């Protein structure tokens, strides 16, 4: 048989071979070696059979005593222990082998032969040496760069710590026992599987593991740990000892989180930017909540922002963007995804809203808040928004970009269809005598009733109008009856037309039972009796 087929190639050749030795009067009489001996030793089976003592001659001088001890155990009737030693191959190279011997006795309990298994473990020894070298460098570096170093004995389950583990955990001396079980208890439950998987993967590859997880301190707070772990001792191919280094990276993780947030946040308004909206809205559109068919993307554009910037300056333009963001946050829920997606454009994704007519509700509240904003004294510009929307169809799903495109198209149609008067960005300067009648602001509130609500609060009042707080939205241009009872018991019902209406979100968030809408009503001053009643009421309020 050609010996070239046994050329040493660890990828294709079995590096284990067997042999059998027959004894006569305690000395070797015959030896048989399997053909794979050539791959391990470089000698053919015939060469080894021809010289019974060739094997001992191959043993490296430094390992003679270990081999002779094994032979002594065999000849003395004891079962020989498996040993590891070096041999000098025929080509002069050194090879590490594992030698196991199995004696055979006759009926008189006399040793008559023995069998052996020789396994080439050179690569295994090199791997162990690499691990030991890594451990040496690892410990040196870890001492200078980490908070904790550990040495974990798998069989006993004990963990020896270098560094102040009690301080890291915020516990007192003796509170934390040096066991793997105790260690596992303080790992965040959501991270435990990740930690165990990292150890298993490292055990299979014999390569260091690097992973992050959270640990619970004694006060119940969590810290972020970064761990480097490496298996350094093995038995039957399984790691029996680990060493590792741990660093508290809580501060760094917090900074990373802030940087990630900054990358998806519009710095001017504090809303998500386009990148953040696409990422988060994209995840939301894949959630089961979107399958309900009640997911809508709203799109808004500030009318004539360029004119505000060019005429009043970029500070006024920035303020318009900031104020628009505030209005959107007042209209939509905290769970809705709000973003500034462009220079003057905003998008909102609403999912699972209980209102079947969400489009009308949003438009009504937006209109009310814009009217209240533009009525405010001192505004140098008028804020108006073009609006559009697109619904998510579970039967024909599309990407967030697809929804944005449809909502943008809807918004542009809205902008074209609106009259020019709705797009005027500037307010005429009001003169101090523009109001026909002086308005009296009421400290606290003054109760009244209205035809659509049991109770409203009058916030300020004049002979020609009043501002109310009510539990429900009052539709603009609608006419309502307001019943007022004065302090002296007079009872009068007035008729007023709603000129503006808006959501008072701050009040609504504090308590669901207090009025959460505001409205401005214009009163008919032609009735002399009503006028006299209002004059007496205002006079009484001023005196009080």
The span from the CA of 168 to the CA of 176, in Å, is 11
Q: Which residue would you say has higher pLDDT here, 238 or 13?
A: 238
At residue 165, the pLDDT reads 85
- What is the rounded average pLDDT of the residues 127-152? 70
Length of the chain: 544
At residue 6, the pLDDT reads 37
Q: What is the pLDDT of residues 317-356, one digit of tens each?
A: 999 999 999 999 999 988 899 999 988 999 999 987 776 7
Average pLDDT over the chain, rounded to whole?
81
Percentage of residues of the chain with pLDDT beyond 90? 28
Q: Which residue would you say has higher pLDDT here, 36 or 236?
A: 36
Q: Domains in the chain, start-ordered, CATH in brackets?
A: 3-120 (3.30.450.20), 125-253 (3.30.450.20), 270-423 (3.30.70.270), 440-543 (2.40.10.220)
247 band by pLDDT with thresholds 50, 70 and 90? confident
510 band by pLDDT with thresholds 50, 70 and 90? low
At residue 136, the pLDDT reads 66
Q: What is the pLDDT of residues 248-275, one digit of tens each?
A: 888 888 877 776 777 888 989 999 999 8
Q: What is the pTM of this model?
A: 0.42
At residue 135, the pLDDT reads 66
At residue 127, the pLDDT reads 82
Q: What is the pLDDT of residues 292-317, one digit of tens each?
A: 667 889 999 999 888 888 888 888 89
Q: What is the pLDDT of residues 86-118, one digit of tens each?
A: 999 999 999 999 999 999 999 888 899 999 999
Instruction: Please write down the HEC assignment for all residues of 278-310.
Output: HHHHHHHHCCHHHHHCCCEEEEEEECCHHHHHH
Q: What is the pLDDT of residues 427-444, one digit of tens each?
A: 433 333 444 556 666 655
Q: Which residue would you say has higher pLDDT here, 52 or 157?
A: 157
Percentage of residues of the chain with pLDDT beyond 70? 82
Q: What is the pLDDT of residues 451-489, one digit of tens each?
A: 666 677 888 888 888 888 887 777 777 788 888 876 667
What is the DSSP code string of 16-52? EEEEEEEEETTEEEEEEE-TTHHHHHS--HHHHHH-T
Does pLDDT of 388 surpass 70? Answer: yes
At residue 7, the pLDDT reads 41
How many other CB atoms are found less than 10 A from the CB of residue 169?
17
- Asked which of 138-142, 190-194, 218-222, 224-228 is least confident by mean pLDDT, the reply is 138-142
- What is the rounded average pLDDT of the residues 366-383? 82
Tokens of 77: 């009737």
Which range is most confident: 59-63, 170-174, 532-536?
59-63
Q: What is the pLDDT of residues 2-38, one digit of tens each?
A: 444 334 444 434 588 999 999 888 788 888 999 999 9
Contact indicator for 115, 99 with CB cutoff of 8 Å: no
User: CA dihedral in degrees (443, 449, 454, 456; nearest 10)?
Assistant: -30
At residue 220, the pLDDT reads 92
Q: Closest by alpha carbon to 368, among 509, 522, 520, 495?
A: 520
Q: Which residue would you say has higher pLDDT here, 292 or 385?
A: 385
């Amino acid at each position: 048989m050609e010996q070239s087929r046994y050329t040493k190639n660890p990828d294709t050749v079995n590096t284990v071979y067997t042999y059998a030795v027959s004894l006569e009067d305690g000395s070797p009489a015959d030896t048989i070696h399997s053909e794979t001996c050539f791959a391990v030793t470089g000698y053919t089976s015939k060469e080894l059979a021809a010289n019974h003592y060739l094997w001992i001659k191959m043993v490296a001088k430094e390992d003679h005593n270990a081999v002779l001890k094994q032979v002594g155990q065999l000849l003395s009737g004891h079962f020989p222990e498996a040993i590891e030693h070096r041999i000098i191959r025929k080509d002069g190279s050194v090879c590490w082998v594992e030698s196991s011997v199995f004696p055979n006795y006759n009926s008189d309990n006399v040793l008559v032969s023995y069998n052996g298994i020789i396994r080439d473990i050179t690569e295994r020894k090199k791997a162990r040496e690499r691990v030991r070298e890594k451990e040496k460098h690892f410990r040196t570096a870890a001492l200078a760069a980490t908070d904790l170093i550990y040495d974990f004995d798998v069989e006993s389950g004990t963990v020896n710590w270098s560094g102040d583990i009690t301080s890291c955990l915020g516990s007192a001396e003796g509170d934390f026992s040096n066991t793997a079980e105790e260690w596992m208890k303080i790992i965040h439950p959501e991270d435990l599987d990740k930690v165990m998987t990292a150890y298993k993967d490292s055990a299979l590859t014999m390569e260091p593991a690097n992973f992050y997880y959270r640990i619970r301190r004694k006060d119940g707070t969590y810290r972020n740990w970064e761990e480097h772990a490496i298996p350094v001792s093995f038995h039957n191919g399984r790691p029996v000892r680990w060493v590792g280094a741990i660093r508290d990276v809580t501060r760094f993780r917090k900074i990373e989180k802030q940087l990630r947030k900054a990358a998806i946040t519009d710095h001017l308004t504090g809303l998500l930017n386009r990148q953040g909206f696409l990422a988060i809205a994209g995840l939301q559109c894949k959630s089961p909540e979107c399958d309900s068919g009640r997911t809508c993307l709203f799109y808004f554009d500030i009318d004539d922002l360029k004119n505000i910037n060019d005429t009043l300056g970029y500070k006024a333009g920035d303020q318009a963007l900031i104020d628009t963001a505030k209005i959107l946050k007042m209209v939509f829920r905290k769970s809705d995804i709000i973003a500034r997606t462009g220079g003057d454009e905003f998008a909102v994704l609403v999912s699972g809203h209980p209102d079947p007519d969400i489009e009308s509700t949003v438009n009504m509240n937006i209109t009310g808040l814009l009217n209240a904003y533009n009525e405010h004294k001192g505004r140098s510009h008028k804020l108006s928004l073009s609006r559009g929307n697109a619904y998510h169809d579970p039967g024909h799903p599309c990407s967030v970009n697809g929804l944005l495109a449809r909502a943008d198209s809807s918004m542009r149609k809205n902008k074209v269809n609106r009259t020019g008067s709705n797009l005027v960005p500037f307010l005429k300067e009001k003169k101090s005598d523009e109001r026909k009648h002086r308005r009296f602001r009421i400290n606290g509130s003054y109760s009244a009733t209205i035809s659509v609500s049991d109770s409203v609060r009058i916030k300020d009042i004049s002979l020609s109008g009043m501002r109310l707080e009510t539990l429900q939205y009052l539709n603009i241009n609608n006419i309502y009856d307001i019943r007022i009872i004065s302090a002296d018991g007079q009872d009068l019902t007035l008729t007023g037309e709603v000129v503006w209406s808006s959501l008072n979100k701050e009040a609504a968030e504090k308590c669901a039972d207090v009025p959460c809408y505001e409205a401005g009503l214009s009163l008919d001053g032609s009735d002399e009796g009503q006028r006299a009643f209002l004059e007496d009421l205002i006079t009484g309020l001023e005196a009080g």
